[in-house]
Amino acid sequence: MISQLLAIWQADAAFPSGGFAFSNGLEGLAAAGDRLSSDELEAVVEAALRRRWATADRVALARAFEAANDLDAVAEIDREVEATMLAEPFRLGSRRNGAGLLAAHARIGTPGARDWQARVRAGRALGHLATTQAVVWSGAGLDRSGAVLASGYMAVSGFMTAAVRLGVIGAIAAQSTVRKLLPVVAELAATPLPGRIESFSFRLDIAATRHARGDLRLFAN
Amino acid sequence: MLEFAPGADVRRQTASAARIGVGGPVGSGKTALIERLIPVLRGRGVDLAVVTNDLVTKEDAERLRRSGLIEPERVSAVEAGACPHTVIREDPTLNMAAGDDLEARFPGLELVVFESGGDNLASTFSLDLVDWWMFVIDVAGGDDIPRKRGPGVLKCDLLVVNKTDLAPHVGVDLEAMLGEAIAVRGDRPVIATNARSGEGVEAVADMIGRAVLFSE
Ligand SMILES: Nc1nc2c(ncn2[C@@H]2O[C@H](COP(=O)(O)OP(=O)(O)OP(=O)(O)O)[C@@H](O)[C@H]2O)c(=O)[nH]1
Ligand SMILES: [Mg+2]
């Protein structure tokens, strides 16, 4: 039971990690065209889950989780993550969000957090979110499947929280979308891990890239 | 299985520069006060940097970078995801990381000043982020602000009442307002400033020095 509770603990937005400040392209998308309907919002998030979370974040997390005791191996996966993120706002966002999560875990003394943080600070690792989650969640005692579910849940809830703050959807209606997307996370979490980390969410990539050039923004990406 | 070893003084293990917060309602003069404090503190030999939490733009960060008061690289901006209180209270990790980053880039840094995005009277700083913080209100915001006993006004280490020069123009009895502020704060420090002229700024710097820099 404890590993499930630990996964809930880490997936809870009350755990400070900086995640609330990232819309992962949604702010750019919301600013770009007509108002997004809730169906469109759902489609955008589902696409991000299928083409980015399942094929990139999940893969990096699961592989780094297995390697969490060997920080050289984690750093290798970390570089792969960097190389597969096309849009700079996603690369920087992932690194900053990783640093935020790491700051909290270093502070509470999660095993492994300080060593990984020292590496990132020394420039010997980039500290992307997925690889950092692997290190600190392994150190905190989650199991791999709990870690993958926590990451998938946070991908959905992160988008939906941003959507609420952007006024794209109401806070309660958002939960109906979350409910519809949870089976997608469950389905994707159960699929075999591909050998390579791949990410392809061109609509959000373009939206985030345009967003980064704009002066007016609430979110970091 | 879980060998957590937080220790009593966890913050100090990661941060060596003192960290202070400057919060307060929109437009009360937080950035103006920081612009005044920078030369005073630097004149006293304090090695410092600033992190701003602008809400929508990078206006404050850019203003400080262009000010000529401090090297532009010593000013970092952290986005607040539409929630200026979250980024200093419920989830200060991005600010903590920005502070860590400044410390790594500027060895010898002694002070990091975090400016909160303009917020309401309920905004307070997490002590995970800062060692000490001030709340800046202004005379023109109304002389009833202290009476409203917002958590920001009550809980801060120092309450700054700015824009004293405007008191006659907005029909505020400054002495009465300050008296009320001191009363609701149970005699904890209140300083009146005019960030236009610099009045009161030395007193704020003295207090920062005593509180976190261990200077006279
Ligand atoms: N008359 C007068 N004006 C002041 C004083 N301090 C600041 N101002 C003016 O008040 C306005 C707001 O000042 P800022 O320093 O930008 O206020 P702020 O609290 O940083 O604002 P936000 O970051 O947007 O919440 C500017 O036009 C300042 O020039 C003061 O002591 N007297
Ligand atoms: Mg300001």
Distance CA B30, CA B34 (A): 6
The vertex-B45 CA angle with B42 and B48, nearest 5°, equals 55
The response to whether residue B76 sits with its C-beta less than 6 Å from ligand 1 reads no
Strand order in the sheet with B111-115: B75-77, B48-52, B111-115, B18-23, B132-138, B158-162, B190-192
Distance CA B109, CA B102 (A): 8
Distances in Å between the Cα of A210 and the Cα atoms of A29, A47, A81, A130, A221 are 9, 19, 22, 24, 10
Task: Using an 8 Å CB-CB cutoff, list chain A residues near B87.
Answer: 20-21
Work out the mean pLDDT of chain B and round it to a whole number: 91
> Hey, where are the domains in chain B?
18-213
Torsion angles phi and psi, residue B149, rounded to 5: 50, 45
Cβ within 8 Å of B, A 73-102: 96, 99-102
Residue B4 banded pLDDT, cuts 50, 70, 90: very low
Question: Cβ neighbours of residue A6 under 8 Å, at least 6 residues apart?
Answer: A137, A140, A141, A142, A146
Distance CA A89, CA B71 (A): 25
- Residue B10 in contact with partner chain A when CB distance is under 8 A: yes
- Residue A189 in contact with partner chain B when CB distance is under 8 A: no
Task: Using an 8 Å CB-CB cutoff, list chain A residues near B56.
Answer: 216-218
Q: What is the 3-state secondary structure (H, E, C) of chain A?
A: CHHHHHHHHHHCCCCCCCHHHCCCCHHHHHHHCCCCCHHHHHHHHHHHHHHHHHHHHHHHHHHHHHCCCCHHHHHHHHHHHHHHCCCHHHHHHHHHHHHHHHHHHHHHCCCCHHHHHHHHHCCCCCCCHHHHHHHHHHHHCCCHHHHHHHHHHHHHHHHHHHHHHCCCCCHHHHHHHHHHHHHHHHHHHCCCCCCCCCCCCHHHHHHHHHHHHCCCCCCCC
Between A2-11 and A129-140, two packed helices, what is the crossing angle to 10 degrees?
140
Q: Is B92 helix (H, G, I), strand (E, B) or coil?
A: coil
**pLDDT for the residue numbered B215:** 66
Mutation site for B-interface testing, chosen from A97, A164, A218, A221 by largest number of B Cβ within 10 Å:
A218
Torsion angles phi and psi, residue A190, rounded to 5: -90, -10
- Residue B186 in contact with partner chain A when CB distance is under 8 A: no
B209 known ligand binder: no
What are the pLDDT digits (tens) for A79-108? 999 999 988 999 999 999 999 999 999 999
How does DSSP classify residue B72? Answer: G
What are the pLDDT digits (tens) for B136-161? 999 999 899 999 999 999 999 999 99
- Which residue has tokens 């200026």? B84
pLDDT at residue A41 greater than cutoff 60: yes
Q: Which fold has domain B18-213?
A: Rossmann fold (3.40.50)
> Hey, where are the domains in chain A?
36-209
- Which residue has tokens 């100090």? B12
Say whether A166 and B82 touch across the interface (CB within 8 A): yes
What are the pLDDT digits (tens) for B182-200? 999 998 999 999 999 999 9
What are the pLDDT digits (tens) for A134-193? 999 999 999 999 999 999 999 999 999 999 999 999 999 999 999 999 999 999 999 999
Q: Find, in chain B, the residue whose alpha carbon is nearest to that of A14.
A: B90
| Closest to A119 (Cα-Cα) out of A135, A138, A139 | A135
* C-alpha distance from A220 to closest chain B C-alpha (Å): 5
**pLDDT for the residue numbered B216:** 54
Distance CA A220, CA A209 (A): 12
Distance CA A146, CA A81 (A): 21
Residues in chain B: 216
Residue B98 banded pLDDT, cuts 50, 70, 90: very high
Kindly state the average pLDDT of the residues B169-182.
Answer: 96
Interface A–B counts its CB contacts (< 8 A) at 96
8 A C-beta contact, residue A42 and residue A177: yes
B57 known ligand binder: no
8 A C-beta contact, residue A193 and residue A55: no
Say whether A14 and B90 touch across the interface (CB within 8 A): yes
What are the pLDDT digits (tens) for B33-79? 999 999 999 999 999 999 999 888 788 999 999 999 999 999 999 98
pLDDT at residue B120 greater than cutoff 80: yes
Find the CB nearest B91 among A18, A102, A109: A18
